[in-house]
Amino acid sequence: MNTAFIGLDYIIDIMHSDGKIARSAAHAAQRDIIRKANRALAIAASNGWLKLLVKVGFAPNYLDQPKSSPMFGRAAQFGALKLGERGTDFHPELKVTADDLVIVKPRVSAFYATPLEAVLRANKIERLIVAGVSSSWAVQATVRDAHDRDYQVLIAEDACAAGDESEHQDSMKLMSAIARIITVDDMESL
């Protein structure tokens, strides 16, 4: 089955201790998700799967920032999520290669206003393995959109993090109705 691995928002501002809005940083470190994301990327590469890394970000002048959003409305005030600055760089330990397609998204879901679906269709992708930060926002929004677009969706649970373990587990429980919850180790046998 044609498969893609999608890694979401493994960026400094969101999940690194130096990030400007990194409410998931401690949980991400505790769960060692960068090491697991690197392993997931390596498994995807060895299987010849499409590898996509998606990150949220706004233009330097924040004209595309949704000002009324409770989530993104204060990004400019904090100087967060500004494309071209360190905060939207991937975590320094994430092993990004030239074979990884990087997609920038302006909202929570990786499908919203991005070329993601066109890329998946062009590559005849049927199955998505999704991981990232945060479990309760980017992962959940992307998984819901993928489900509604009729992809077979799996979540590499141990390569995800949220504000805390309870929030993460609640998200996994909720998404288990529309996606198969797996581990990075499980990716080896797909």
Average pLDDT of each block of 10 consecutive residues along the chain (190 residues)? Answer: 98 97 97 98 98 98 95 94 98 97 98 98 98 98 98 98 98 98 98
Predicted confidence at residue 188, as pLDDT, reads 97
Question: What is the model's pLDDT at position 190?
Answer: 96
Contact 116, 54 (CB under 8 A): yes
Cβ atoms of 163 and 22 within 8 Å: the answer is no
Cα separation, 49 vs 51, in Å, equals 6
pLDDT of residue 7: 98
Exposure on the CB side of residue 77, measured as CA atoms within 13 A: 8
How far is residue 75's CA from residue 93's CA, in Å, rounded to a whole number?
24
DSSP 3-state assignment of 132?
Answer: strand
pLDDT at 39: 98
Separation CA 53–CA 29 (nearest Å): 19
DSSP letter, residue 70: T
> Which domains are present in the chain?
3-187 (3.40.50.850)
CB contact at 8 A, 136 and 162: yes
Structure tokens at 86: 């360190």
CA dihedral 66, 26, 85, 68 (to 10 degrees): 10
**The tokens 């980017």 sit on which residue?**
138
Phi, psi of 23 (to 5 degrees): -65, -15
Distance between first and last Cα of the chain? 9
d(CA 138, CA 107): 9
